[in-house]
Chains A and B, each alone.
Chain A
Amino acid sequence: MTVKTLQIVPDRCTGCMQCELACSWVQTGQFQPSRSLIRVQIFDEEASYAPYGCVQCDEAWCMNACPTQAIVIDPATGAKVVLDQMCIGCHLCTIACPFGTVWTTPGTDKAAKCDHCGGQPACATACPTQAIQYVDGDKSQDWFAGWQQRVHDGYVTALGPES
């Protein structure tokens, strides 16, 4: 099984929220960004826009925390998905998630998290600038390594020459 992943490149994001619209459409059949499972964080003064959502952890804490085993691995995509009929709405997964990317549905309290739309993520399709792409897991490292290096270099520069 090739595990695919959502590769997010914040530098390409313009903050247009088409991903939120598309995701909420899949969730609710309406355009309702408050129900989107991908969110765009805007850092105005830094001119930076960062879409974020479930990273589908290898060791998924939401899955470990669930008392009813309602979160399982989708064998087709490798994504961690919520089984609605098993979920009892206890919110434990939302507390367990280190990234705050598991939400609950108003009204039913059932867990809501990104499931990669079963292999065709709507957010990646909707993104007009390829800031969100659905790629093979191993390929996403190419970009991430460069980003890691940049953060590292920036950190070293900030520390000053004494370091």
Chain B
Amino acid sequence: MGGWTGKLLRVNLTTGSHRIEPIPGGWLRDYLGGRGLADRYAFEELDPTVEPLSPENVLIFATGPLTGTPVPCGARYMVVTKGALTGAITTSNSGGHFGPELKFAGYDLLILEGKSPRPSYLFIYDQHVEIRPADDFWGKGVFETEDGLRRELGIPQLRVACIGQAGEKLVRFACIMNDKHRAAGRSGVGAVMGSKNLKAIAVRGTQGVPISDPVAFMKAVGKMRHDMKDHPGRIGFTELGTAATIDMTQAFGGLPTRNFLEGQFDEFENLNGNTIRDTRMVANKACFACTIACGRVTRLGDAANKYLVNMHPRNWRMAAEGPEYENAWALGADTGVGDLDAVLKANWLCNDLGMDPISMGATLAAAMELYQEGALQHVSLEMPLKFGSAEALIRMVEATGHREGFGDELAEGSKRMGEKFLRPEVFMGSKGQEFPAYDPRGFQGMGVAYATCNRGGCHLRAWTPGPETSGVMDPHTPVGKGEWVRHEQDRTTVHDNTGICLFVGGAGGPVESLVPCAAAATGIPYTIDEFVKIGERTWNLERLWNLRAGFTRAEDSLPKRLLQDAHRQGPSAGVVVQLEPMLDDYYRERGWDDAGRPTADKLESLGLANL
């Protein structure tokens, strides 16, 4: 057997005990690893009704069979838990070097249970596993924690996944950060880690990943690299990064602006890929085994002294990563801020504090809408929360991470905040999670993709702007969208299971090209049909878990603003989201009943009948 290590590390933080267990071969075969395998364990061991921030929640780190191999972008690991923001099963994905290091230490999965009695961190050096006190790091940011752990343990090659102050303070959308700038970002996985009193996981792995059929494997990897080398998608990612997307969403009137009140942002050119590259970028950065290197390493240069509104001293002169498209949108267009330097600062603060910039920006945008409408008249605020205020953006990001002043309200996410101020309609998201940067009134398909995603509003499970902007489908019709979203969800899910970055799909390496890699690595003769079925099985398993957690068709919903209020101007003017017909299509395609429950036949065909 190759690809997998076949072992998991289980750590009970309450008692401080750990043990190494074998993983059933059938589960490896049927779920492939990563997200699917972690879902299977979550289904078995994580009660869907527990409070997310209680010791009963379980936090799972999972690598795939291709993590730590030279398959392009084999860097990914997944964090699976009950989301602090959503209460649904969450599956947050991150790159960098942490996932491969965990694999090299010899584990496919790391399962964390219970709650440490005091602030601690977990140190893993191959078979050596130790829970150590984290008093020196508690209260510190992500950058300082990672550097400090390397110093304390004296291992330069150490890889660290940790939380910042936001995770410690249980900010509902706190991330788990690794390699300083890479994040398992969404749904508040960092708050779950913080609730367990776990500051960091420091890993050094010296073992190897064996491969079943080396000759076939290297051939498959070589073909994939060859296909990606001159692919326009690959070149686009390398040259302009994800931020190039902003030109496209702007052109289609699908760039949500000022909390989705508008569909286009006048100052979008200040935030796009060209501007970032030409003004602030100093280098490309790759995750482990990545041949794309879409990461933007940026430096503020002369702008380091702009907007010094933060109270906590920081070094604004170092090089750091970002912003990506989503961050540039959430901290920029959604809050109406058109200054790249302000967005850069807010983005770095999010990274250091360990917060999801999407939910942060979207929650602040919702607060700005409340402010503009006078709903915050009786609240003590440090500064006016006007749309477009760079000072408010930077200060509120920091205040949220530390839960200072009004930041304490923002830290609850826009759903809870909107309800508290009796204006729930300012929440732009689904299942409690804020939407990312695509307005479903510009890209109709994103409506059903957002509504049906198992982890709440998310763009990574089915990205419909691809076909909707390339002439394959009309962006404004609901026809065919349910079917396409189902198709794409299964394919992206199996991507997450292998441990390969989703971006290879847009860079010349579709799921089909991963099949021979996984087959040669594991020695199991997978086919593309089996691959997609693994994706479908994983998706249905997550759905079953969510149903048990109390989610129903009523939660596969969108805010009224998207269903009733059309934009008045731009290419998407007059369009509202026709969710119900798309949802009916989607359920039918999935083989679910009208209430969104998988039918017995469907479960039988996926081998899930006895669950």
Q: Which residues on A are within 8 Å of B, measured CB to CB?
A: 14-18, 21-22, 24-25, 28-35, 44-49, 106, 126, 128-129
CA distance A25 to B206 in the complex (A): 14
The answer to whether B299 and A32 touch across the interface, beta carbons within 8 angstroms, is no
**A33 to chain B: which residues have CB within 8 Å?**
100, 104
Task: Offer 23 A-B interface pairs, CB within 8 angstroms, sorted by A.
Answer: A14-B283, A14-B284, A14-B286, A16-B288, A16-B289, A16-B291, A17-B97, A18-B70, A21-B69, A24-B208, A30-B208, A30-B210, A31-B69, A32-B208, A33-B104, A34-B104, A44-B180, A46-B319, A47-B319, A106-B206, A126-B70, A128-B225, A128-B229
Cβ of B225: which chain A residues have Cβ within 8 Å of it? 128
Bound-complex Cα distance A30 to B217 (A): 12
Q: Quick one: given A30-B210, A34-B206, A128-B225, are A17 and B293 in contact (CB under 8 Å)?
A: no
Cβ–Cβ contact B289 & A30, under 8 A: no
10 closest A-B pairs by CB: A32-B208, A30-B208, A16-B286, A14-B286, A34-B206, A14-B293, A47-B319, A45-B318, A128-B291, A47-B297
Q: In the complex the two chains form, what is the Cα distance from A99 to B538 in whole Å?
A: 49
Interchain CA distance A73-B299 in the complex, whole Å: 45
Contacts of B211 in A (CB 8 A): 30-31
Task: Please name all residues of chain A whose beta carbon is closer than 8 Å to the beta carbon of B157 when the two chains form the complex.
Answer: 34
CA gap between A28 and B282 in the complex, in Å = 36
B207 touches A32 (CB 8 A): yes
Question: In whole angstroms, how far apart are the Cα atoms of A33 and B100 in the complex?
Answer: 10
Contact with A along B302-331 (1 / 0, CB 8 A): 000000000000000011100000000000
**Is B22 engaged at the interface, CB distance under 8 Å to the other chain?**
no
Question: In the complex, A46 Cα to B283 Cα: how many Å?
Answer: 10
B68 at the interface (CB under 8 A from A): yes
B214 adjacent to A29 (CB under 8 Å): yes
User: B104 near A32 (CB under 8 angstroms)?
Assistant: yes
Total A-B residue contacts, Cβ distance less than 8 Å: 76
B208 touches A28 (CB 8 A): yes
Selected from A14, A35, A48, A128, the residue in CB contact (under 8 A) with B208 is: A35
B603 within 8 A of A: no
Pick from B207, B285, B295 the residue with the most CB of A within 10 Å. Answer: B285
User: Is B514 among interface residues, defined by CB-CB distance under 8 A?
Assistant: no
Nearest CB in chain B to that of A106: its residue: B206
CB distance from A46 to the nearest CB of B (A): 6
Neighbouring A residues of B318 by C-beta, 8 Å: 45
Residues 24-76 (chain B) with a chain A CB within 8 angstroms: 68-70
A16: B residues at CB distance < 8 A: 286-291, 293
Chain A residues lying within 8 Å of B129, measured Cβ to Cβ, are none
Our pick among A32, A44, A45, A126 for the contact of B209 (Cβ within 8 Å) is A32
* Chain A min CB distance to B13 (Å): 28
Closest to A126 in B: B70
With A31-B69, A33-B100 given, can you name 13 additional A-B contacts, CB distance below 8 Å?
A: A16-B288, A21-B69, A28-B208, A30-B209, A31-B68, A31-B208, A31-B209, A32-B104, A32-B206, A44-B319, A45-B320, A47-B297, A48-B283
The answer to the question of B482 belonging to the interface, with a C-beta cut-off of 8 Å to chain A, is no
Chain B residues in 8 Å Cβ range of A29 = 210, 214
**B205 at the binding interface (Cβ < 8 Å):** yes
Which chain B residues border A24 with CB–CB below 8 Å?
208
Q: Compute how far the CA of A47 lies from the CA of B291 in the bound complex, rounded to whole angstroms.
A: 18
Which residues of B have CB within 8 Å of A128?
Answer: 225, 229, 291, 293
